[in-house]
Amino acid sequence: MEVVQEIFVVAFSSVERRRIRARNVQVIQTCVLCYECFQRSVHKFHKYRMAASGGSGYCDCGDVEAWKQHPACEIHISQAQPDDQQKSNQIPEEVSERVRALTRTILRYSTKLVCWPHGNDLPEIVSRVDLDPSLPPYQTILYNDETHTYDSVIRALNLSIHCNEQQAMLLATIVDREGRSSVRAGSNEFCARAKEEIQRRTQKDTNRRTEKSGPLEVRVVDTRLVAMQNFAIRLMNWLTAQTRNFPPLAWTVGEVLLNDRLIEESELDGSG
């Protein structure tokens, strides 16, 4: 029997989402493409049916884990240049070493903050920062657990933090795209109540595809740590952008990633 799975084609200028059913072309059952990427990809030549449904979602173009084949459209397909490595060898050694040092600094800083596992125990660099008194001290952070569907997240947010459907859809989209989103800010107790309510409403959820069940992953996090994590993510995005602007840099960055010990265990267990 031929398995029918779904591709979502999204027109971002409209709340309406056009749903396409295609046959045997993706790994994840609800792959999402924007209309422009769909038109510039081979998927438009596949068998499909289109229908309208509610909005939300983001473009999965280029995600090799989502597609069995042809993961990127003509716009976003990666085309490595054969002389990039040779060009990287032409970068002056002094410049190359400074790039390595900068890359190590960015990745060590970012890894330590983004992967911080100790809850209310903050990294020393964060605890030294004084929070602006006008800002809320804590935030309720909702994480993408790769288990719950858009609809279950939207429903939980709508009922738990009393936002409207459009706001819940926006938050769910951010969680899916960025991996997490702040859904409430305030005192520790205020944020903890939101966390408990979200998890209570999703504790019986089950994903038939992954066979996983349980509540959404939600944490109450110090605002200072959230701010520094966001900055760390922007730093890594900046570093990635530089390798796109000047591809030979990618070889230097790759050498650091493959060969350097970027973070010590003592730094993650809080003793460093």
Every domain of the chain and the residues it spans: 1-79, 83-272
Please give the pLDDT value at position 249.
85
Please give the pLDDT value at position 189.
95
Radius of gyration of the CA atoms of the chain, in A: 22
* Residue of 187 and 150 predicted with greater confidence: 187
44-48, 90-94, 220-224: lowest mean pLDDT where? Answer: 44-48
For residue 79, is pLDDT > 80?
no
What are residue 164's phi and psi, to 5 degrees?
A: -80, 175
Domain topology for 1-79: Cysteine Rich Protein (2.10.110)
Measured distance CA(268)–CA(272) in Å, rounded? 8
Domain topology for 83-272: Ribosomal Protein L30; Chain: A, (3.30.1390)
11-20, 86-95, 155-164: lowest mean pLDDT where? Answer: 11-20
Percent of the chain with pLDDT over 90: 26
Percent of the chain with pLDDT over 70: 73
Cite the DSSP H helix spans in the chain.
35-39, 84-89, 93-114, 124-127, 150-160, 165-178, 188-202, 223-245, 248-259, 265-268
| Average pLDDT estimate for 61-88 | 70
Average pLDDT, whole number, for the chain?
Answer: 77
Measured distance CA(7)–CA(72) in Å, rounded? 14
Domain 1-79 matches domain 83-272 at the CATH topology level: no
Please give the pLDDT value at position 18.
45
Quick one: pLDDT band at residue 56, thresholds 50, 70, 90?
A: low
Give the model confidence (pLDDT) of 124-144 as tens digits.
888 888 888 888 999 999 998
